[in-house]
Amino acid sequence: MDSTREQLQGIFRDVFEDDGLVLRDELSAKDVPNWDSLAHINMIIAVEAKFKIKFAIAEIAQMKAPGQTAAHFLVLLEKKLAEKPRPA
Partner 1 sequence: VSTSSLAYLAFLVAAVLLFCAGGGPRPRRILFGAVNAAFAAFFVGSWTNAALLAAFVLGGYAAARLAQNRGRGAVPLSLLVSVPVALLLYVKRYAFLSLFLPSAALSHGLEIVGLSYMTFKLIHVVVDAREGALSPLSLPCYANYQLGFFTLAAGPIQRYDDFARWWNEPSPAADEAESLAAWNRILNGILKSALLGTLALKVYTSAFDGVLAGASGRGALGRFLVAFYVYPIFIYLNFSGYCDVVIGSARLFGLTLPENFDSPFLARNMIDFWNRWHISLTFWIRDYVFMTSYKWFAARWNSLRRPAGYVLQFAALLIAGVWHGSTWNFFLFGAFHGLGVAGATMYGDALRRRVGADGVRLYLERPWLRRGAMLLTFHYVCFCFLFFPSDLHKTAAALRAVAAALGRR
**Which residues sit at the interface with partner 1, rule CB under 8 A?**
16-18, 20, 33-34, 36-38, 40-42, 44-45, 56-61
Q: Which of 67, 78, 80, 76 is nearest to 27 (CA)?
A: 67
Q: Which of 54, 46, 63, 44 is nearest to 81 (CA)?
A: 54
The nearer residue to partner 1, 61 or 75, going by C-beta atoms, is 61
The nearer residue to partner 1, 1 or 46, going by C-beta atoms, is 46
The nearer residue to partner 1, 62 or 69, going by C-beta atoms, is 62
